[in-house]
Structure 1
């Protein structure tokens, strides 16, 4: 790993203070709310240019200036952490920084360092792990890569923001020692090791035993802990629309309110200062933090951002393959010989899920499908594709090619009306779910035209919109719905995934339609989104399954791809269960009945139950692999890349074994963190009675291993574990050597056991290396809330060394 330099400063603190002194109160306050959804105001009199932000963490989407703007689509953060490879993640960070500069972005709103506390969390896939140590290692590597290139990060979401249900209302109620050891730990490690440019305050409230308040208003966590105790020097930025107060948030320590130009600060904050309710020195501190950020990213004074050379895009393929986890392998992967016939079966084989839903969404220029990737790797193979079952909650989008306006021209007639019903514009557009060129003052949109349905049989048509809308088909009003909406539908992502009622129409000709819907006004801007959905006449799931079985019978290699989709895993809501959507389990069982050697590929970001796992012989977990989806799968099947990933969370066998099955707030809007320190795998194994389907850290890769001669020595920065590791397989392979601590006779609250170190090593077949695992000095400590400090927990610990949290190959005793 390269020596980390981090973001450079070009302007002295003295010069920054002089710039602050040159501004009056109103000018200073004006800098602290966004000028637009994604940018901060400029102030030419002090040489401040606009700082531009954009969402991460799977790519840099840009600022929405063009619907045609495309971005590199990285694998999901769960896939990244599954590599357990800090060097590779640092390379990914550098590529992300290049993407940021290509889009004119100064600060990437990533990474997320929250804990995967419950597997049903809607943003589970956007976070790294259920373990704070692995979260820190993964996040800090990416931050190193990004900030070493002069681009800033905004680490989020501070803090205990670990679920989506009622996400702007719930109160995370966490014991102080647990908050410090688990949920604050990644933020603290980031500040200590990589100095992130900015931090984002979350939507939720936190009761940490000292103060119960919204994250944006929490003086103890923002000022006492983050700024004073941990010494954070950058700005704390609100999550978008999270700030609801003026003087409370300003006094608490929040520095920047997003988005703009409206919000609770502005004139109200100026008045609060003038009335003595907010001290002007606090405003100066906020501006100082903003100017430090601008200075670091090249937006203050004469220094400008350096032009970055294009990074190696092959890192995307390396991430996707190194993150793929082999759950089981019956000598099926890689394929021993190129197949002559190959069956790709399953809904995710037809339409792979390559990224989660919500604010992390980016628009890639091209996604390599599984079929395309396999054709490229095995050009002589006959490849047959079968959907198997329908796994979607929503019907597919209506193809734009089926639409014509009332005059018969391609597209739909789009008319915009003001609040009084006066027509503002009328033009024919190609409809892809969004009004092109929304007119100022538009309140209602009307779409009219024809839907070409030449296929005979019963079609189902619907209009998806979160607010007031109505739909007429062939002159018949089939739906009328009234509901006023605003910021809430953006916050819960329902604006992008509206529930849609479908109405039957007979095919064989064209259908006329008239769709009217309201414009949604929010702090993010005004949106005119509506989704025409269409379900074709077609086979039932039973018929599809039978077709898949026949396809499997005829192929000499069978790959079944199952998983989730953006109807299931998305920001804005939590899942209600851990089941694969639709009848995918029936599909897998039916195929295994006739093709027991079928390779099962799970394309999901968060845990799903696999009731057929014991009977399947080969199972891969590919996460959301990004735009290289098909190439990554093909490279693994062809033996060109090893799937060397390890699970960053626990895969449960049964829903009832999940320690935190949901995060539904109680009647007092509280989410109680009652599990204490034993989050995730710490509640499995040992004497818990819970036996996971696959343990935290599990992954077979391409080889088998022997461990021997484990020792432990004290060093200046902690301890060094040493163990001999031998590759007993026939292929070169990468092993992840993991170390866990078990307290023997604890007299103070500690986890049941916990990850304390790991390293990754490539070893030739038959080779043996002596591997060193460094254990940090702060490993054996706990937070003493009575003295408000960390204390070293002396005692004897069993150190378990192995391949996962339960596959232990060696042990040593460590005396602290």
Structure 2
């Protein structure tokens, strides 16, 4: 792609009306429409909140996976966010992507939110700073960041049409604030609208949000685009200023529709030109990346990328409990061989990310078992490790792409493609692929043998499995299309002749998982085949396109058997590491969680293990809070999020003390769901959701009503101790400057986060007890002291949204400065006074 900048005003004059209309919608799923006559190129976008997938769902080029959004935010490290963004930008160029569809900066309003893991925090300031610094990093590489989802896309339930009802004050102080901060500090080149309505109007059609606030008040000059299939009209969305409808081909911006709207004078020609300008601006910014037209997507295998992913993961992990200093563990044993049991459903599973558009094919994954085992090997194997599953976590059968083999012994599944159904005489194969997974989305499968628009075909996915244990094995398959699973030619799973609606695939378009059991013998080689027919064969909804199949298997062991094995193992060892939590099957785009509990028998497993061994370390992996009824009983607890490629190494780094944990919770962990502020007002009820907690989200609520939580916002322990002293607060009419000396009073080098909260002394309206207004992270060697200084504008430090004046108000008053290392541990206090009351708008 040439780097010559487009002359936008010249092009506006030269473009024909059909050409202008074509620019207002995507060409396909990932590209804008080119106008070759005028040398206007097509540019590419890619999903990317925690890694850059590229243009393929099917057989995608592997990517580096970052820790999930809530984990990234838990680092509280602005410089590290910039570095992460820069790596995202570099990898986008390797995938030929000019625009990254991220970061996601919605609010973790409830632990139940399906995409909570993908956002950053319950706190708008932390969310805004995380987004703005990641955007800076991305755009340092001349790749465009697309900030999303503007605004209030805080649940998955009925997300395409739910009407979000909330006060102006909540909208401004909580939900718009992260976007306001990111727009102010990093000027993202693009912004994506949310699916939902706000007060009866879809965001993509809201002139109040898209024009009055975004364009006029925030002075945003970048490009706006819809979420995928997120436009619901022709005229209203264009009038509101949604420049680009995605994906293509156009649905509401076809030549016929738009031309008719213009000819009938329902849409002004100037409106078309304004939206075309927005698209051309995006193309101009994209040209700066210098991505060649013929780029071939490639994976980033630079060891430096793995080092950064590990660093981010290390800093994201939060130490929540460490009674008796059971952590860090030792890699070596001097008095006889120490025995450690590693137990739990996430031990040998790589929970790299949550589900949905944030998920991708990771270039590699390190499981907790692999990371812990490597640490023990570094210590000379004087500590012995043993493993037990203990409890099941999978909602459906696990991916067995790393278990099946082809006839050459290579790990993976062979896919053979046909135009005729299984059993057809003289069936001819037209394509073949070798794939690393049995979670197969064929939404974007292409082959030269398929004519344009040809979506009916068949595939056999097959491989060989050699059991390590004689037992019954349970097989399962869910599908968007039809599927049958055979073992050595015997039908084991039938999801073809009788299908039941389920939640497989995006937006629950597929079937439930059908299952069957077969007895297999240890050491015998079995042929496993899944016969798949594309979506036109789907008995529930044949109008869907192409579709896909998920299939897998596992040993059919009763839960009681696995629990008993784990308990017996726990009795026989010195220490137990329990690796538990959730997975992308339970936290994902497309649906919300129904409760906060860890599914299955995990809680029972933990309780029983604690009865037989007191030296227990629990590592929880989830993108948002889970219920922990055993929290008071366990001596050591680590929260590890979804950790990306390096998750196993980062968990081991912290457990064995190679890294001193410094992560801080990016959200409060309540004791139970009923304690949460949105408990009575979450989810769509007859197409509406009421944000009844108003501005009191997260710690703002818990502190106001004096509700105890399990672990507070901003909380995280260390293997050393810190002291804050000599607080200095200096204020003028523009800024307040806060400085504090931080000393590492322990014996281990480590990092601490200085959190600055502000409280108004005499508010005339109901305000939170205090609000996070700035933070700074500092690394200190043992015994070292450093000063941490932050500067906050007076208007940001003091203002609330005055709904009567429809402006921000900074009230003349005295304000307390509360400095600590979590929301509930304020160590030093100061104050400042403002000299006047004033009102303001904008950034």
TM-score scaled by length of structure 1:
0.89
**Alpha carbons of 1:608 and 1:652: their partners in 2 closer, same or farther (altered >3 Å)?**
same
Partner of 1:182: 174
2:313 is equivalent to residue 320 of structure 1: yes
**Alpha carbons of 1:20 and 1:645: their partners in 2 closer, same or farther (altered >3 Å)?**
same
8 Å contact from structure 2 (residues 23, 34) kept in 1: yes
- Range that drifts further, 36-45 or 338-347: 338-347
**Tell me, what secondary structure is at the counterpart of 2:230?**
coil
**Alpha carbons of 1:491 and 1:512: their partners in 2 closer, same or farther (altered >3 Å)?**
closer
Partner of 1:372: 370
**Alpha carbons of 1:646 and 1:450: their partners in 2 closer, same or farther (altered >3 Å)?**
closer
**Alpha carbons of 1:795 and 1:309: their partners in 2 closer, same or farther (altered >3 Å)?**
farther
1:114 positional shift: 0.5
Q: C-alpha distance in 1, partners of 2:27/2:253? A: 12
- Range that drifts further, 367-376 or 443-452: 443-452
Q: C-alpha distance in 2, partners of 1:391/1:80? A: 24
8 Å contact from structure 1 (residues 29, 283) kept in 2: yes
1:374 positional shift: 2.3
Which of 621, 639, 644 lines up with 1:621 in the alignment?
Answer: 639
Partner of 1:443: 456
**Alpha carbons of 1:323 and 1:277: their partners in 2 closer, same or farther (altered >3 Å)?**
same
Which of 745, 753, 757 lines up with 2:774 in the alignment?
Answer: 757
Which of 390, 393, 396 lines up with 1:394 in the alignment?
Answer: 396
8 Å contact from structure 1 (residues 494, 572) kept in 2: no
CA displacement 1:195-223 (0-9 Å, x = unmatched): 1001001111111xxxx311111121111
**Tell me, what secondary structure is at the counterpart of 2:712?**
coil
**Alpha carbons of 1:627 and 1:674: their partners in 2 closer, same or farther (altered >3 Å)?**
same
Partner of 2:474: 460
Which of 117, 121, 125 lines up with 1:125 in the alignment?
Answer: 117
2:749 is equivalent to residue 732 of structure 1: yes
CA displacement 1:627-646 (0-9 Å, x = unmatched): 01122122223322221000
2:250 is equivalent to residue 262 of structure 1: yes
8 Å contact from structure 2 (residues 460, 532) kept in 1: yes
Segments of structure 2 that go 5 or more residues without pairing to the other structure are 408-412, 835-843
Q: What's the C-alpha RMSD, in Å, of the aligned pairs? A: 3.4
8 Å contact from structure 1 (residues 358, 493) kept in 2: no
1:429 positional shift: 6.8
Partner of 1:272: 261
Which of 345, 348, 365 lines up with 2:346 in the alignment?
Answer: 348
Partner of 2:548: 529
2:411 is equivalent to residue 416 of structure 1: no
**Alpha carbons of 1:793 and 1:326: their partners in 2 closer, same or farther (altered >3 Å)?**
same
1:243 positional shift: 0.9
1:766 positional shift: 2.6
1:501 positional shift: 2.4
2:611 is equivalent to residue 597 of structure 1: no
Q: C-alpha distance in 1, partners of 2:426/2:357? A: 33
Which of 217, 221, 226 lines up with 2:214 in the alignment?
Answer: 226
Q: C-alpha distance in 2, partners of 1:449/1:813? A: 69
2:785 is equivalent to residue 768 of structure 1: yes
- Range that drifts further, 466-475 or 350-359: 466-475
Partner of 1:6: none
Q: C-alpha distance in 2, partners of 1:657/1:357? A: 26
CA displacement 1:723-759 (0-9 Å, x = unmatched): 3333221112211111222233321243332111211
**Alpha carbons of 1:675 and 1:306: their partners in 2 closer, same or farther (altered >3 Å)?**
same
**Alpha carbons of 1:239 and 1:512: their partners in 2 closer, same or farther (altered >3 Å)?**
closer
2:191 is equivalent to residue 199 of structure 1: yes
Q: C-alpha distance in 2, partners of 1:158/1:84? A: 23
**Alpha carbons of 1:477 and 1:145: their partners in 2 closer, same or farther (altered >3 Å)?**
closer
Q: C-alpha distance in 1, partners of 2:419/2:681? A: 42
Q: C-alpha distance in 2, partners of 1:549/1:484? A: 38
**Tell me, what secondary structure is at the counterpart of 2:645?**
helix
Q: C-alpha distance in 2, partners of 1:373/1:639? A: 13
8 Å contact from structure 1 (residues 98, 309) kept in 2: no
Kindly tell me the number of residue pairs found equivalent between the two proteins: 790
8 Å contact from structure 1 (residues 466, 485) kept in 2: no
Q: C-alpha distance in 2, partners of 1:554/1:476? A: 39
8 Å contact from structure 2 (residues 415, 434) kept in 1: yes
8 Å contact from structure 1 (residues 83, 644) kept in 2: yes
- Range that drifts further, 666-675 or 260-269: 666-675
**Tell me, what secondary structure is at the counterpart of 2:347?**
helix
**Alpha carbons of 1:504 and 1:219: their partners in 2 closer, same or farther (altered >3 Å)?**
same
8 Å contact from structure 1 (residues 77, 128) kept in 2: yes
8 Å contact from structure 2 (residues 406, 463) kept in 1: yes
1:50 positional shift: 1.2
2:671 is equivalent to residue 653 of structure 1: yes
Q: C-alpha distance in 2, partners of 1:524/1:718? A: 59
8 Å contact from structure 1 (residues 118, 662) kept in 2: no
CA displacement 1:690-734 (0-9 Å, x = unmatched): 101100000012222223333321046421123333322111221
Q: C-alpha distance in 2, partners of 1:155/1:342? A: 45
TM-score scaled by length of structure 2:
0.86
Q: C-alpha distance in 1, partners of 2:55/2:349? A: 27
Which of 282, 285, 299 lines up with 1:293 in the alignment?
Answer: 282
- Range that drifts further, 231-240 or 467-476: 467-476
CA displacement 1:112-150 (0-9 Å, x = unmatched): 111101111000100000000000111111011110110
Which of 206, 230, 253 lines up with 1:242 in the alignment?
Answer: 230
8 Å contact from structure 1 (residues 470, 481) kept in 2: no
**Alpha carbons of 1:417 and 1:133: their partners in 2 closer, same or farther (altered >3 Å)?**
same
2:602 is equivalent to residue 608 of structure 1: no
Q: C-alpha distance in 2, partners of 1:705/1:785? A: 42
Q: C-alpha distance in 2, partners of 1:556/1:323? A: 28
The within-5 A match list for 1:795-806 is 795-806=813-824
**Tell me, what secondary structure is at the counterpart of 2:569?**
helix
Which of 695, 699, 702 lines up with 1:681 in the alignment?
Answer: 699
**Alpha carbons of 1:662 and 1:347: their partners in 2 closer, same or farther (altered >3 Å)?**
farther
**Tell me, what secondary structure is at the counterpart of 2:67?**
coil
Q: C-alpha distance in 2, partners of 1:71/1:489? A: 23
8 Å contact from structure 1 (residues 467, 485) kept in 2: no
CA displacement 1:83-116 (0-9 Å, x = unmatched): 0000011001111111001111100000011110
**Tell me, what secondary structure is at the counterpart of 1:588?**
helix
Which of 361, 373, 385 lines up with 1:383 in the alignment?
Answer: 385
- Range that drifts further, 392-401 or 251-260: 392-401
**Alpha carbons of 1:482 and 1:517: their partners in 2 closer, same or farther (altered >3 Å)?**
farther
**Alpha carbons of 1:727 and 1:457: their partners in 2 closer, same or farther (altered >3 Å)?**
closer
Partner of 1:745: 762
- Range that drifts further, 157-166 or 762-771: 762-771
Q: C-alpha distance in 2, partners of 1:664/1:596? A: 38
CA displacement 1:537-559 (0-9 Å, x = unmatched): 33x22222232233334434431
**Alpha carbons of 1:665 and 1:378: their partners in 2 closer, same or farther (altered >3 Å)?**
closer
The within-5 A match list for 1:493-532 is 495=510, 498-507=511-520, 515=531, 517-519=533-535, 526-532=545-551
8 Å contact from structure 1 (residues 37, 525) kept in 2: no
CA displacement 1:607-662 (0-9 Å, x = unmatched): 00111111111111111111011221222233222210000100111222111137
CA displacement 1:338-361 (0-9 Å, x = unmatched): 255432211111213111110111
1:444 positional shift: 5.9
8 Å contact from structure 1 (residues 235, 290) kept in 2: yes
The within-5 A match list for 1:63-142 is 63-64=55-56, 67-142=59-134
**Alpha carbons of 1:17 and 1:241: their partners in 2 closer, same or farther (altered >3 Å)?**
same
Which of 123, 127, 139 lines up with 1:147 in the alignment?
Answer: 139
2:652 is equivalent to residue 634 of structure 1: yes
**Tell me, what secondary structure is at the counterpart of 1:464?**
strand
Q: C-alpha distance in 2, partners of 1:313/1:63? A: 22
**Tell me, what secondary structure is at the counterpart of 2:346?**
helix
**Tell me, what secondary structure is at the counterpart of 1:502?**
strand
1:16 positional shift: 1.4
8 Å contact from structure 1 (residues 59, 73) kept in 2: yes
8 Å contact from structure 2 (residues 314, 654) kept in 1: yes
**Tell me, what secondary structure is at the counterpart of 2:178?**
helix
**Alpha carbons of 1:715 and 1:576: their partners in 2 closer, same or farther (altered >3 Å)?**
same
1:265 positional shift: 0.3
